[in-house]
A = this chain, B = another copy of it.
Amino acid sequence: MARNLLQAGHEVTVFNRDREKAKPLAASGARVADSPADAGRDAEVVMTMVANDGALEEVALGKHGFASELKPGGIHVSHSTISTALARKLTAEHGQRKQGYLSVPVFGRPEAAESKNLVVVAAGPIEHLERCRPLFDAIGKATFVMGADPVQANIAKLCGNFMIIGMIESIGEAYATIRKAGIDPELFLETVNSLFMSPFMGSYGKLIAREEFLPARFVLELGLKDVRLLLDAADELASPMPLASLVHDNLLSALAQGQGELDWSSMTQVLARNAGLKTKSS
């Protein structure tokens, strides 16, 4: 993402806890900061991409966080998949400092980030979104604006992830039955996908059929975290999501059975074992 920003002609300062990781970007013209605070100084926009709520709170509001250094009118663009609670807190904290806050999670794996093929999901005050649009254009293939409240982008991202794990649950259940009926799962997948015609379903379905869960496209433990965040957000909205509850329980079962580091689609092994099927790992 940083490389694509540089390529689009933006002036970029980078910070990574592991300074080594920042080096290649320095070679491409980025300034390397010593701390989040250092990165925020003199910036127009600070874009953050970290693992979870705790990490984001630290880099934004912690001792060496950038919020205290960012000038009034500066904008924090948060790309991480975080809780709605934190999005609200950041909106308030930045607001008190006359700074802007946008939630801008993205869909897409590292390859998509490299090839500028991310799907950008944004929400926040319209004037801030407009100012940042050139940045979104520089990193993704399309930007979708969910609304004026940053939290809306977080919820849309969590619901998008839910659509994926929902598809995985469907595939997993169908495969268990299909396998017990003596049918080849990949053949079934090809059949069904001649209806859906979704390359995304095709590639996931193939990995599940072959039980290829390493290297993980999306680590199960993180996927479970996202489903938790969704259930929390849905709870707050008083919106029951029984399928989300179901996949939560199945991901939890996978975790309890030692699959935390595998791809989250390995949740399908829980379904297979519950049908009395052997799995590669069991």
- The residues of A with any CB-CB pair to B shorter than 8 Å are 107-108, 119, 121, 141-142, 144, 146-147, 149, 151-152, 155-156, 159-160, 162-164, 166-167, 169-171, 173-174, 176-178, 180-183, 187-188, 190-192, 194-201, 228, 230, 233-235, 237-246, 248-250, 252-253, 255-258, 270-271, 274-276
Known: A149-B182, A156-B191. A256 touches B275 (CB 8 A): yes
> How far is A250 from B240 in the complex, measured between Cα atoms in Å?
7
Q: Which of A237, A238, A256 is packed against the most chain B CB atoms within 10 Å?
A: A238
A160: chain B residues at CB < 8 Å are 174, 188, 191-192, 195
A163: chain B residues at CB < 8 Å are 170-171, 174, 192, 196
> How far is A239 from B201 in the complex, measured between Cα atoms in Å?
22
Interface of A is mostly: helix
Q: Is the Cβ of A162 less than 8 Å from the Cβ of B191?
A: no
Q: Is the Cβ of A196 less than 8 Å from the Cβ of B191?
A: no
The 10 closest A-B pairs by CB, nearest first: A256-B276, A166-B170, A198-B198, A245-B245, A240-B249, A238-B256, A144-B191, A180-B237, A159-B174, A253-B274
Q: How far is the CB of A162 from chain B (nearest CB, A)?
A: 6
Q: Is the Cβ of A274 less than 8 Å from the Cβ of B245?
A: no
A190: chain B residues at CB < 8 Å are 144
Q: Identify which of B121, B141, B194 contacts A191 (C-beta below 8 A).
A: B121
Q: Is the Cβ of A180 less than 8 Å from the Cβ of B276?
A: no
Q: Is the Cβ of B245 less than 8 Å from the Cβ of A249?
A: yes
A152: chain B residues at CB < 8 Å are 181-183
Q: How far is the CB of A164 from chain B (nearest CB, A)?
A: 8
A195: chain B residues at CB < 8 Å are 107-108, 119, 160, 164, 200
Q: Is the Cβ of A256 less than 8 Å from the Cβ of B240?
A: yes
> How far is A280 from B147 in the complex, measured between Cα atoms in Å?
24
Known: A156-B178, A162-B170, A274-B270. A253 touches B240 (CB 8 A): yes
Q: How far is the CB of A227 from chain B (nearest CB, A)?
A: 10
For A246, give the chain B residue with the smallest CB separation: B242
A171: chain B residues at CB < 8 Å are 163
Q: Is the Cβ of A146 less than 8 Å from the Cβ of B256?
A: no
A162: chain B residues at CB < 8 Å are 170, 173-174
